[in-house]
Chains A and B, each alone.
Chain A
């Protein structure tokens, strides 16, 4: 069965860092690009970052001003999101997602909640 499982969310103070993980199973993780998408409470979807299958290309949304970094370890079938200098408005559910061969974001995790609060 195909699964994406996020972890690492929690409550963090403004200005601190947090690293999210996304464990993949049931498909050839190393063959596909991966994305992070977030959703603030009661708000819409916001694309966060992308990394190519071989890590040669990675990009984070301009609005994040370089605070977030996406990475992956294909030997561990795991995607990461390093979040630095967290702000109150970074509070959101963070989803990992992948096209996994489709022409859209076909696979999604269940999301992990990050709450930035003092």
Chain B
């Protein structure tokens, strides 16, 4: 079964840059677009990146996305970290039947 694997947690200091990876278990990560969602405690997810590297309206340019074919991974990079960025982040793509598939999520701690 196709899976998207994310690190369970990452941490970084305010003002720094952090990158969260999302690795596809099979096939090519580039075969389908990747979306990244931010979810704060008690709230529904909101997209911060779509179509691998595009930002929805209102998302600051501190958030960026990329694809690395050599590692079969997508990455979310957040620069100039603030405490407001502390949240869970999920990558999302599509399985072989074009159905939505989420990664396991990464807890970002800004300390």
Tell me the A residues contacting B by CB distance below 8 Å. Answer: 35, 37, 44-47, 50, 59, 61, 95, 97, 102-106, 108-111
Per DSSP, are chain B's interface residues mostly helix, strand or loop, or mixed?
A: strand
Task: Count A/B pairs, Cβ under 8 Å.
Answer: 56
Question: Could you tell me if A45 and B99 are in contact, using CB atoms closer than 8 angstroms?
Answer: no
Given contacts A102-B50, A102-B56, A103-B33, contact A108 B44 (CB under 8 A): yes
**Chain B 40-77 residues near chain A, CB threshold 8 A:** 44-47, 50-51, 54, 56
Besides A45-B39, A104-B51, 14 other A-B contacts (C-beta < 8 A) = A44-B88, A47-B100, A47-B102, A102-B50, A102-B56, A103-B33, A103-B50, A103-B54, A104-B56, A104-B92, A105-B35, A108-B45, A109-B44, A110-B44
Question: Could you tell me if A44 and B104 are in contact, using CB atoms closer than 8 angstroms?
Answer: yes
* Residue in B33, B54, B56, B99 whose CB lies within 8 Å of A47: B99
A9 to chain B, nearest CB (A): 14
Question: Could you tell me if B45 and A44 are in contact, using CB atoms closer than 8 angstroms?
Answer: no
Question: Could you tell me if B44 and A35 are in contact, using CB atoms closer than 8 angstroms?
Answer: no
Given contacts A47-B99, A47-B101, contact A104 B44 (CB under 8 A): no
